[in-house]
Amino acid sequence: MTGALFDTEAFDGHEEVHFFHDAQAGLRAIIALHSTVLGPAGGGIRMWPYASDDLALRDVLRLSKAMTFKMALAGVALGGGKSVIIADPARDKSEALFRAFGRAVDSLGGRYICAEDVGTTPEDMVHIDQETDHVVGLPGKSGDTSPLTGRGIFRAIEAAARHRFGSDDLNGRRVAVQGCGNVAVQGCGNVARHLMGYLKDAGAAIVAADISETAAARAAQEFGAEIVAPDALLAVDADVLAPCALGGILDDASILVLRARIVCGGANNQLAEDRHGRALHEAGILYVPDYAANSGGVFSASREALGGGEARARAQVDGIGDTVGRILERAEADGTAPSEAADAIARGVIAAAKDASIQ
């Protein structure tokens, strides 16, 4: 396992990778700390029935790295981490499982601060909270991070439209949203619903797809979305494609069929590989790096760990548009892909913090 871990393409100098197993509680989990240079590693808990342990490991490594870059761009005093629980959130949740996970988090001594993610909810955090203080996103505190995440993605889309079209007015713009929210699994897809609410209010024409017919029908009813088959969405002629399901959708094959002028959404790790950011750029498609667009949840949850009220978090979320604008301007000035520009900015923040710590 050690050789496989260090040799995998997803490994990027991660500081720590921990594997936890509690047979009695049904827990199989991995916690990855990519960097604690800027502060304790913060990141959500993804609960998903991975087809293999290798896929779970790859996911947690990539997600934790993205969290490091997300924190750096957001300017918060947190590093990047992530965790995955290998289980089906529709049938495997229990208090015992989450309490066992809480003990795992607590064993790291505060180096990792966890929160909800795909497949987990604020209510699940309550059980974790019984075993560790290193959890945020509890009901009655920051709670559900999806409202501010959706708002931040909307601000990012506005910034991308301003850069590509010369105006951030989305009235009449066609936005294709991938993933409408899994109504059968709490904690899946609420971001897309909040985003579609903002898009509707802005007068955008929404096209949506979801593997759940129930979720798609709800999007049609609530937001007036035109519904297409999931395998047809990427080829829809749209001003913006907003991926809001799982990651890895932008690869060699999908980029060839994309007809959107902009890609900007809430899903993590939208690029199947880092090189696909360059491929989008060369195809003439403006890609907003996912960790820049979907950082609203960071501002929502970090106020529990670092202090600050809801008004401050909302103001920080509205600043995501400015951050995206700076990334796109730097990419244009340097002749690079936006994904490359964002990575360079984030790595610069981390390098500066390292230099300051040794002076």
- With the C-alpha atoms ordered 210, 88, 13, 296, is the resulting torsion angle positive or negative? positive
Is the whole-model pTM more than 0.75? yes
In angstroms, rounded to a whole number, what is the distance separating the alpha carbons of residues 259 and 237?
Answer: 5
Q: What's the one-letter identity of residue 45? A: I
Over residues 60-95, the pLDDT tens digits come to 999 999 999 999 999 999 999 999 999 999 999 999
Counting residues of the chain whose pLDDT is more than 70, the rounded percentage is 94
Q: What's the one-letter identity of residue 310? A: E
Q: Mean pLDDT in the chain?
A: 92
- List b or e across 271-300, with b for residues whose CB sees 16 or more CB atoms inside 10 angstroms: bbeeebbbbbbeeebbbbbbbbbbbbbbbb
All CATH 3.40.50.10860 domain ranges in the chain, comma separated:
14-61+82-143
Q: Is the pLDDT of residue 3 over 70?
A: no
Q: Phi, psi (5° rounding) for residue 112?
A: -130, 130
The encoded tokens of residue 139 equal 């009901």
- The band of 183, judged by pLDDT with boundaries at 50, 70 and 90, is very low
In angstroms, rounded to a whole number, what is the distance separating the alpha carbons of residues 94 and 90?
Answer: 11
- Res 311: pLDDT: 80
Instruction: Return the CATH class of domain 14-61+82-143.
Output: alpha beta
Q: Phi, psi (5° rounding) for residue 269?
A: 55, 55
Element (H, E) at 58: helix 53-74
Over residues 300-320, the pLDDT tens digits come to 777 666 666 778 888 889 999
The encoded tokens of residue 73 equal 């761009």
All CATH 3.40.50.720 domain ranges in the chain, comma separated:
146-347
**Residues 102-112, mean pLDDT to the nearest whole number:** 98
- Res 118: pLDDT: 87
User: Which residues have a catalytic role annotated?
Assistant: 82
Looking at domain 146-347, what is its CATH homologous superfamily? NAD(P)-binding Rossmann-like Domain (3.40.50.720)
